[in-house]
Amino acid sequence: MDDWDAESARLAARALADGRPTAWFEELYAAGAREEITMPWDRTRPSALLADWLTGSGTGRSAVVVGCGLGADAEFVAAHGFATTAFDISATAVRTARQRYPTSPVDYRTADLFALPDGWAFDLVAFTRAEIDSFAEHGLDPVAIEQVDDGIPRWRAEFLRSAP
């Protein structure tokens, strides 16, 4: 069985050359589901940055986990009381997350970050500043980006979709 990390570079390069820059995610997860490679981003613990940062209760608030993969971060956020929606561009990743957590309160969905359903709004969306800045490169217009310092360094950002 091949390592997913090495395979991801090959698939990503091919997808970019074909003009389908995000297609490789589904191809990679599907290969993992077929056991041709190790399952991509296969972890059961939340990312260290998220676990260090999120310590309080999210009761009464909503959250979204972008690029949820197999669900570890989404389950962590939901365990803190947030009404959690989690999405990934890979249908196989979403299907696998649902299978791993069959009684989960998380609303797992297949979606593209740059073509989200209308009306989505959440209290918590976790990104780094560099990731926030990169949204402008993908058809989103920044309305406001500000640093919020309440003891934990965070960013608040609002974007609108550019007109087609």
Q: How confident is the model at residue 163 (pLDDT cuts 50, 70, 90)?
A: low
Compare 115 and 164 and report the one with higher pLDDT: 115
Rounded CA-CA distance 5/142 in Å is: 32
What pLDDT does residue 114 have?
Answer: 80
Rounded CA-CA distance 80/67 in Å is: 19
What CATH fold (topology level) applies to the domain 43-111? Rossmann fold (3.40.50)
pTM above 0.85, yes or no: no
* pLDDT tens digits, one per residue of 81-125: 999 999 999 999 999 999 999 999 999 999 998 888 888 888 888
The ranges assigned to domains in the chain are 1-40, 43-111, 127-164
Q: Please give the structure tokens belonging to residue 49.
A: 């940055």
For residue 2, the 8-state DSSP code is: B
Q: Please give the structure tokens belonging to residue 85.
A: 């929606």
